[in-house]
């Protein structure tokens, strides 16, 4: 297998990062991670984040920025990420009022176009990170495909989250290949369970009113769930993936950092690095 660098979505260890981000970065480097993906910066300035990354020899390969923050301050978001050397910014999640099929979706697409053009001018790349709701049918195709058709490939790249692809009943390796040449970053996420009446978003606090049922769905370290990780890696490499990102929204059997070690050990055994 061709080698690829591996990053870790710091959100997976958000409580630990909130308490001591520098220690988390140190631990990740010691495990063998090459970079990190952020989802917030814990009130640190760009210079402080850059200093910590440099200290531990890590790269900020991408960052999840809330859509409302992008709408409110496009230039500020771009400037911060330029300062920390982060090449990719991802739209991480759309709420019901802005997602495909909603009345606000046309405005969402317009905002994506505007921000993507500004990012391109700044030498950065915009990604779209999917959940399962983008696999509803919209204009006779998946809503996620509709988004990628509506925004040119030179403006918007994919960050395919393989958990939500498989959770939707679609083969992750096949879907990655569908966007060959447009998938610089692939999210590796494993789980057990299947789609049912309980929404797994409740597990990570996106909807606190939803019932949390760990018996129906549970996030797992990479290689410890239902995913065919090797086929996903091969598809990603063949399709031009530059980075693979480990993400585990919630860890129940061990601490998040222990789970991070299990995940990267799986990837090392498979020959990714």
- Expressed as residue numbers, the domain containing 174 is 6-269
pLDDT digits (tens, 9 = 90+) for 21-43: 999 999 999 999 999 999 999 99
Percentage of the chain beyond pLDDT 90 is 86
pLDDT digit string, tens, across residues 195-229: 655 556 544 445 444 444 445 788 999 999 999 99
What's the confidence (pLDDT) of residue 215? 54
pLDDT at 193: 83
Element (H, E) at 79: helix 74-83
The 10 Å Cβ neighbour count of residue 174 is 11
Other C-beta atoms lying within 10 Å of the C-beta of residue 179: 18
Q: Provide the pLDDT for residue 36.
A: 98
Average pLDDT in the 12-16 region? 97
pTM score, whole prediction: 0.93
pLDDT at 164: 93
Average pLDDT, whole number, for the chain?
A: 93
Residue 254 has pLDDT above 60, yes or no: yes
Counted domains in the chain = 1
The whole-number pLDDT of residue 212 equals 44
Q: Rounded to whole angstroms, how far apart are CA atoms 214 and 164?
A: 17
Residue 16 domain flag: yes
DSSP state of 97: T
Tokens of 264: 């990267």
CA–CA separation, 172 and 177 (whole Å): 9
List of residues 6+ apart from 49 with CB closer than 8 A: 38, 41, 60, 84
Instruction: Indicate which CATH number applies to the domain containing 28.
Output: 3.20.20.150
- Burial class of residue 3, CB neighbours in 10 A (0-12, 13-18, 19+): exposed
Provide the sign of the torsion angle of the four alpha carbons 203, 182, 168, 230, taken in this order: negative
1 falls within a domain: no
DSSP string, 160-228: EEHHHHHHTT--HHHHHHHTTTS-SEEEE-EEEE--SSS-GGGGGTS-TTSPP-TTTEEEE-TTSSS--
User: 199 lies in a domain?
Assistant: yes
pLDDT(11) > 80: yes
β-strands 59-64, 35-38 pairing? parallel
Dist. CA 187–CA 122, nearest whole Å: 24
pLDDT-based confidence at residue 185 (cuts at 50, 70, 90): very high
And the tokens for 10? 């710091």
Please state, in angstroms and rounded to a whole number, the distance separating the CA atoms of residues 128 and 144: 9
pLDDT of residue 205: 45
pLDDT in tens, 107-145: 999 999 999 999 999 999 999 999 999 999 988 999 999
């Amino acid at each position: 297998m061709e080698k690829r660098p591996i990053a870790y979505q710091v959100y997976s260890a958000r409580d630990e990062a909130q308490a001591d981000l520098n220690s988390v970065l140190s631990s990740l480097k010691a495990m063998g991670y090459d970079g990190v993906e952020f989802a917030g910066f814990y009130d640190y300035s760009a210079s402080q984040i850059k200093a910590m990354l440099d200290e531990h020899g890590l790269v900020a390969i991408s960052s999840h920025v809330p859509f409302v923050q992008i709408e409110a301050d496009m230039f500020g978001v771009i400037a911060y990420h330029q300062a920390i050397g982060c090449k990719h910014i991802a739209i991480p999640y759309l709420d019901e009022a802005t997602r495909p099929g909603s009345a606000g979706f046309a405005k969402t697409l317009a905002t994506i176009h505007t921000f993507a053009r500004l990012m391109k001018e700044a030498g950065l790349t915009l990604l779209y990170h999917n959940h399962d709701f983008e696999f509803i049918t919209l204009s006779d195709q998946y809503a996620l495909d509709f988004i990628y058709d509506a925004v040119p490939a030179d403006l918007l790249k994919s960050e395919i989250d393989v958990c939500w692809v498989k959770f939707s009943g679609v083969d992750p390796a096949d879907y990655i290949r569908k966007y060959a040449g447009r998938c610089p970053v692939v999210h590796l996420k494993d789980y057990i369970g299947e789609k049912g009446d309980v929404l797994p978003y409740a597990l990570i606090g996106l909807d606190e009113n939803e019932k949390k049922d760990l018996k129906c769905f549970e996030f797992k370290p990479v290689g410890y769930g239902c995913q065919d990780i090797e086929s996903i890696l091969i598809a990603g490499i063949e399709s031009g993936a530059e980075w693979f990102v480990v993400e585990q929204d919630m860890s129940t059997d061990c601490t998040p950092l222990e789970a991070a070690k299990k995940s990267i050990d799986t990837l090392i055994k498979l020959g990714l690095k």
